[in-house]
Amino acid sequence: DSGVTQTPKHLITATGQRVTLRCSPRSGDLSVYWYQQSLDQGLQFLIQYYNGEERAKGNILERFSAQQFPDLHSELNLSSLELGDSALYFCASSASGGAVGDTQYFGPGTRLTVL
């Protein structure tokens, strides 16, 4: 158990809908990262937040957004869902935003199925 929690574990929804994925980082970690894992694209970095502020952006679509709250939990919002958004979404956390040797620890993931 990494100490990173994600809810829900599974999510089934329809095209065009909007969903919210939630992540709680390990105790004391200030950074949260979101990744998308699909069979054809591998593990894709979406976005990083550090202590409430956006720190880095990866291949995140405009239909997707995220935020990190004062208690450091984070939410990933996915809207206007398409079939291709079906994937595993992982959250990871790390102690700092970029210190040497900082290690990311991953949550168990949320499996999103768009029908």
Residue choice 48, 68, 74, 93 for contact with another protein (CB under 8 A): 48
Residue choice 28, 42, 62, 71 for contact with another protein (CB under 8 A): 42
Q: How many CA atoms lie within 13 A of 8 on its CB side?
A: 9
The answer to the question of residue 109 lying near another protein (CB under 8 A) is yes
The answer to the question of residue 25 lying near another protein (CB under 8 A) is no
Nearest to 63 by CA among 49, 51, 48, 46: 46
Q: Pick the piece of the chain touching another protein (CB under 8 A) from 15-23, 39-47, 62-70, 77-85.
A: 39-47
Cβ count near 115 (within 10 Å): 10
Nearest to 114 by CA among 19, 28, 2, 1: 19
- Tokens, residue 91: 């959250």
Q: Minimum CB separation from another protein for residue 98, in Å?
A: 5
Question: What is the binding site for another protein (CB under 8 A)?
Answer: 2, 4, 31, 42-43, 45, 48, 50, 55-56, 58, 90, 92, 94, 96-98, 100-109, 111
